[in-house]
Amino acid sequence: MSTSKSHPERTAFAARAEEWLAAAVPSRWRDRRGTLDEDEQNVIRREWDRQLHRAGFAGLSLPKEFGGQGLTLAEEIIFADLSARAKAPDGLARIGRILTAPTLIAHGTPDQLERFLPKILDGDEVWCQGFSEPSAGSDLAGVECRATKVDGGYLVSGRKTWTSFSSLADRCLLLAKSSPDAPRHRNLTMLMLDMRRDGVHISPIKQASGLAHFAEVSFENVFVDERDRIAGDGDGWKVAMTVLTNERGGVEATSRYVEIRADMDLLAGQLAGRSEYAEILRELDTRVELVYWQVAKVVDIDPADDEYFRATSVLKVTWSELWKRIAALGLKTADATNADYWRFQYLETRAASIYSGSSEIQRNIISERVLGMPR
């Protein structure tokens, strides 16, 4: 992951990316983001996705034959770090690029790759993820949203919750129960549902932090064409594991590391000179750099290797629980100048330890599938 002399190609990439970001980041986003309303922010974020594509910074680690840049996770990490330093926008196409695109490359048909990948990479289509449900909790295999087989496809009925970008999304990567009588893990199917179809109803969820990143989405007999099914009927669990591996993997963890590092630096400045916090600051700073080390480790592992699964499972718990500790201490020691910021971060980091698999579920996975402990 280093951009040292041992990796001259990464050094050259970093220099090109840094120069482009310095010129490309909109000044009104960099300087006035806090004063922009949500609609204006979304206009900038959507255009940012298109700028990334035009400049060759979209799909950095996706193979060239699928429209990507054919680079590695190392370049993804370098670009995420430089983007944070440049105060660049976070585009709206992240779910499509991080989750849908690699999942289609792993399981999709040539027709699906041709229809969806270009629009994902150039930012023309925004995607959301339909996994969590109000009654299923963290039990992904227990989803009850139904996909009933009909002539030419499926009719989807049910509810999904905590659905990011759903109010803006064109498509939903949706896991549904298609065979109620089939064995657990063999009764699910992954569909790419058109969010503009009749029968889709979106109810924004206002978070404790005051934002409404998420929504609950209900589906009433929404038709999904059979050619918009990923892999076979009943293969949804297998496809979902690919999605979650990418969600917990290097690209997502890198963006989180950048945010955590920024919060750690802010906390260190806030507590500078307060000797009673010196030891805990050293511990937290060490743990932040351990996240960086773990991300660096993931960079050089083949995603198809079992070691990649083990590393990313540990990584999700590590960064989400650490971020909670940093935010909690920031709030505890805040003054009038930064109390609002830390209050917001405190609430946001609680959500981070739940989505993409709660810390409790992740620990169960690690104990069973990484350590080999009995259930």
Active site residues: 247
Exposure b/e, 48-81, CB count within 10 A at least 16 = b: bbebbbeeebbbbbbeeebbbbebbbbbbbbbbb
Q: β-strand 171-177 against 127-130: which pairing, if any? A: parallel
Cα–Cα separations (whole angstroms), residue 194 to 27, 61, 141, 177, 370: 34, 27, 23, 18, 37
218 class by beta-carbon count within 10 Å (0-12 exposed, 13-18 middle, 19+ buried): middle
**Structure tokens given for 371:** 């350590």
Q: What is the DSSP letter of 89?
A: P
Q: How many residues make up the chain in this entry?
A: 375
Cα separation, 153 vs 223, in Å, equals 7
3-state secondary structure of 157: strand
Angle at 174 between CA 169 and CA 180, to 5 degrees: 155
Give the SS3 label for residue 349. helix
CB 224 within 8 A of CB 147: yes
